[in-house]
Amino acid sequence: MTLLRINGLGLEIHGTPILRDVSLEVARGGITGVIGESGSGKSLTAYSVMQLLPEGSAPRGEVLLDGRDIALLDEAALCRMRGNDVSMIFQEPMTALNPVRTIGDQVAETILIHAPRTSRRAARRRAAETLERVGLPGDQFPLSRYPHEMSGGQRQRVVIAMAIALRPKLLIADEPTTALDVTTQAQILDLLKGLVAEDGMGLMMITHDLAVVSDMADDIVIMKSGEVVEQGPARQIFGAMTHPYSRALMEASGHVPERAGAAADAPLLEVRDVIRDYPMARRHVLGPSRMFRAVDRVSFNLAKGESLGLVGESGCGKSTLTRAILGLDPIQGGEIRLGGEVVTAGHSVSREQRRKMQVVFQDPYGSFNPRHRVGRLVCEPFHLFDRQPRSDERDTALANALESVGLKADDANKYIHEFSGGQRQRIAIARALIIRPELIILDEAVSALDVSIRAQILDLLADLGDRFGLSYLFISHDLSVVRSITDRVMVMKSGRIVEAGETAQVFDTPAHAYTRSLIAAAPRLPDHAAAT
């Protein structure tokens, strides 16, 4: 029977319509997955349930919790409801906790707020129990811990603990795992599932990733630009998607671009026993400076025209390695050869070498100087030529680059803020492309994009790779992406490469335990769904 029913929910913020006639249900003890890309209004739907909407919000329709319309409650009543009947978990565990108060206080607070007569000791005892429940046993994680002393996963557990401390009827999870590594994500998802089962809570699971909910949700709601486009029992939904957007979404999540992938065996990039150490904070003023080894004797080859994947969880050293290869940071051991020549770090990297490689970064918003026009941005690599191209050469090159990434030549005169995230990544690729390098390093290049956009960019990369015979070093934490676009893949863990091989082989028959755990943890769409 239903715990939460949202009926014809509409929302305007400062007059701009955000939600239109959203209706959905969460059953007691049931899990409803709300899926949508950024801007689909899924999060605001959740916030309307909490009645924590930004200023200037004008909601319509009814939100019934146990048949009681919470839209009609006054602030006091709402405060009694929040954290008690309805709780919420947020996307960014790093910032969701008050940095200056201990986890114990913050969990106990939930209890004390709603049962003021509880003694502090009692509250703290319950806090300890709850933390235990979410997998933070008191002996390892005393109540006196501060958030900054814990990892993202652990913090997310604390947030969950605060949410479930009073065993609410309804738990709302807003992208609870998006910011986490796959393995952590899997653990958190299991935890949530477990809690729902134990306490018989209703769970409203909000995510952009179909796969995440595919194997846990009872019901699926798919939203697009403020509207519910499709909903129903999960099995049925994955069985037969009716709405074109749902299908597109479905298709995109499992997307595999076609690639010719003709890799010559002449090595373009050779990495030999590369070591990268960071100095760490000293214990004493005059104590010896301790070193942190971010990259530990890494070796590999990248053949011309090959697309090589490098997967690993955050902090495994893959970005550090990238910077070393780009010659941005010095290395403490081994050597890196590009086209046979040694890459030495710093400004001394020869321009010839730099001309051979370019890079595309993750963040489509941070990678451009907002004050320059696209033309100037894209042409920046020309700085690598001793003789600057004549303006007409430059313009044709620019036009070609932009068109080859699916933009128009006259976009060159626009400023970067006039483009969407996807377009910006295209521009980033154009910039990488304009001097026709042999190697392009893609550092999480598609991680920040919605699945549908991501699919397009992947296609583009595949296409460009074939057309210009480019080599890719494809760095990502997302296995599915790597799987879809690389010939070979390397798995990196705490500075070391633990496994490398043909992509298909690595994924189907992983040799290393870590690789196995990674693959196991990665959420997968039900096969029958992918088939359709």
Residues within the interface to other proteins (CB under 8 A)? 50, 52, 75-76, 79-84, 87-88, 90, 92, 95-101, 109-110, 113-114, 146, 148, 159, 162-163, 281-285, 326, 328, 347, 349, 351, 354, 357-359, 361-363, 366-371, 377, 380-381, 383-384, 415, 417, 431
For other proteins, give the closer residue by CB, 113 or 530.
113
For other proteins, give the closer residue by CB, 82 or 318.
82
For other proteins, give the closer residue by CB, 98 or 236.
98
Task: Return the structure tokens found at 449.
Answer: 């994009």
What is the smallest separation between the CB atom of 522 and other proteins, expressed in angstroms?
27
What is the smallest separation between the CB atom of 77 and other proteins, expressed in angstroms?
11
d(CA 194, CA 215): 14
d(CA 60, CA 523): 36
For other proteins, give the closer residue by CB, 336 or 357.
357
What is the smallest separation between the CB atom of 238 and other proteins, expressed in angstroms?
31
Burial class (CB in 10 A: 0-12, 13-18, 19+), 400: middle
Residues in the chain: 532
Give ∠ CA 32-35-40 in degrees, rounded to 5: 130
Task: Return the structure tokens found at 213.
Answer: 């909910």
Residue 436's region, left for phi above 0, alpha for psi from -120 to 50, else beta, is left
What is the smallest separation between the CB atom of 240 and other proteins, expressed in angstroms?
36
What is the smallest separation between the CB atom of 274 and other proteins, expressed in angstroms?
18
d(CA 264, CA 258): 18
Residue 251 has φ and ψ, to the nearest 5°, of: -60, -50
Cβ neighbours, 10 Å, residue 49: 22
For other proteins, give the closer residue by CB, 174 or 313.
174
For other proteins, give the closer residue by CB, 122 or 530.
122
Residue carrying structure tokens 């890459």: 343
What is the smallest separation between the CB atom of 213 and other proteins, expressed in angstroms?
21
For other proteins, give the closer residue by CB, 160 or 489.
160
CA distances from 66 to 80, 81, 85, 276, 395 (A): 15, 12, 10, 58, 65
Identify the helix (H) or strand (E) that includes residue 198. helix 182-199
What do you get for the CA distance between the two ends of the chain, in Å? 31
d(CA 145, CA 518): 29
CA distances from 320 to 53, 245, 294, 370 (A): 40, 38, 7, 26
What is the smallest separation between the CB atom of 346 and other proteins, expressed in angstroms?
10
What is the smallest separation between the CB atom of 187 and other proteins, expressed in angstroms?
21
What is the smallest separation between the CB atom of 383 and other proteins, expressed in angstroms?
5
